[in-house]
Structures are given as C-alpha cells and as structure tokens.
Amino acid sequence: MRGVLRGGYRTVMLVFFLLYGVWVTFRHGFSPEGRQRLVEIRRHWYRRGLAISGVEVQYRGEPGAAPALVIANHVSWLDIPLIGSALDVRFLSKAEIARWPVLGFLARRNHTLFIQRGGHHTEQLSGKIAEALQQGERVVLFPEGTTTRGGEVRRFHPRLLAAAVDTGIPVQPVALDYGRESDGSAPQASYSGDDVLLTHAWRLLCREKTCVTVHLLPLIPVAPGTTRRELADAARAAILRPLGL
C-alpha cells in the first residue's frame, strides 16, 4: 500500500513538473537568447525530475570539452534523463515522437535530432550529427541499438560513429551502472522490448529508490586513419571497465 501511495504522489508531482517544463520551453525556446537560457537550466531540470522519481544518482568523472560524440550503454528509458542531467547534449529520437503531444513539443524545442526508420537514412543522419558536432555540440548515441538487462554490453554498431571519424571530433564514453538487485537479479530499472512503458514506469515510481552511477569517462581522440569499427570497439572497451564486465 505504501508503494502505491508513493507512486501516486510521484506521478502527480511529475505531471506538474512536466507542465513546468512546457512553460519554461515556451518562455525561452523561441529566441537565440532564450535557447541559451534553456541550455543553462536543462541539466537542473533533468536532475529535479530524477529526484522526484526516486532516482538517486552518483556522478563519477568530469565532462570532456564539447564538441563530442557521446556514446553510452543502453539499459533503460531512464538513460536519457540520466545523461541529460550530466551533460548538455542533443538526443536522437524516433521521428514519430516529434508528433506526440507535450513530449514531442519539448523534444522539438530542445533540438532533438529525429531518426527516420530504415537503413537508407543512416547516411543522412550521420550528416546531421556531423553538422551538430561541427557547431560545437554534443550528440548522444546508444550504439548497441537496443536495451539490455544491464549484465552485458552488446557489440557496438559502428555506422553512426562515422560522424566522429569524418569530423575528427572525439568520443565521450559514458557508462551507466544500475547495479543489481539485492537478490542478484537484473535491475528493475532495466527495460526491454517485452516491457510495457507505462507499467514499467509505474513500478519504478512505486519503489523507495533506484540507484544509478553515471561514469563520465575520458575523451577518446579520433586520430587520422581511425576506422569506425576501431572507434566503436575502443568506446565499448572504455565503458566495460567501470561496469566490471
């Protein structure tokens, strides 16, 4: 019963918090000066949202200088606010999310890069990522292509790392460590294709707390002649170390 009350309270708080985010975006998201203000407050907004949700975060390491292609292991939908709370970044998202009410508006006004489904769009997307990097920004990729239960990091797909190779801009590896449950099982925060998003989110909101460690790892420079495969493997190896995998 206590967990249900906790989840209900947090849900109400998050609805108001999301509406606050819409108001802030309306206020600042339509002019160059306002967009700079959004950059300044965005990480604090993510951190407050995580706190309301009962997510306790430890940050290890320091952000590397921008621009950088941010590469992370993928465990949960929580990965997005976790990385957003640590770094000022641009995310990639499925194109259909741009049409969602509220969340689509927030994504569009906060410069999300939207992905069309299908391999033939990869080259176009790589061009968009390269353009953002050359403008001095950080762009986030989850190169596993899917989520895991946290006990492994799958081999990284190298295609989208072409933007870093083509521009010579470094990679910032980020390791997201959700740990294990007290009985040694996979973390409840992990999310797979078998899970239902709303049910999964409700389960997390009902928990007393969810603990995550975000490891900001040293930049990986991109030397002339580096291949996408070499860069993908180097980023994966860097992420594996703090996860103990």
- DSSP letters, 155-195, are PPP-GGGHHHHHHT--EEEEEEE----TTSPPPTT---TTS
Q: Is 33 part of a structural domain of the chain?
A: no
Is residue 29 domain-resident? no
Question: Is 36 a member of any domain?
Answer: no
Lookup: tokens for 68: 């950088």
* Residue 38 is assigned to a structural domain of this protein: no
Q: How far apart are CA 28 and CA 36, in angstroms?
A: 8
Query: For 95-115, b where at least 16 C-beta lie within 10 A, e where not — what string?
Result: eeeeeeeeebbbbbbbbbbbb
Structure tokens at 27: 């206020």
The number of folded domains in the chain is 1
Write out the chain's pLDDT in tens, 245 residues: 788 999 999 999 999 998 888 888 777 766 666 667 777 788 899 999 999 999 999 999 999 998 999 999 999 999 999 999 999 998 877 777 777 777 777 777 777 777 776 555 677 788 888 888 999 999 999 999 888 888 899 999 998 899 999 999 999 999 999 988 877 788 888 988 778 888 999 999 999 999 999 999 999 999 999 999 999 999 999 999 999 88
Burial readout 167-199 (b: 16 or more C-beta within 10 A, e: otherwise): bebbbbbbbbbbeeeeeeeebebbbeeeeeeee
Predicted local confidence at residue 30, as pLDDT: 64
pLDDT, position 202: 93
Assess if residue 19 is contained within a domain.
Answer: no
C-alpha 105/C-alpha 35 separation (Å) is 14
Torsion angle, CA of 134/239/41/81, rounded to 10 degrees?
120
DSSP symbol at 133: H
Residue 41 lies in a domain: no
Q: What is the DSSP secondary structure assignment for residue 217, as one 8-state letter?
A: P
Cβ pair 222, 168 in contact under 8 A: yes
- Residue 165: domain span: 58-193+207-243
Residue 71 within a domain: yes
CATH number at residue 164: 3.40.1010.10
pLDDT, residue 115, reads 72
Per-residue model confidence (pLDDT) at position 35: 66
In a domain, 28, yes or no: no
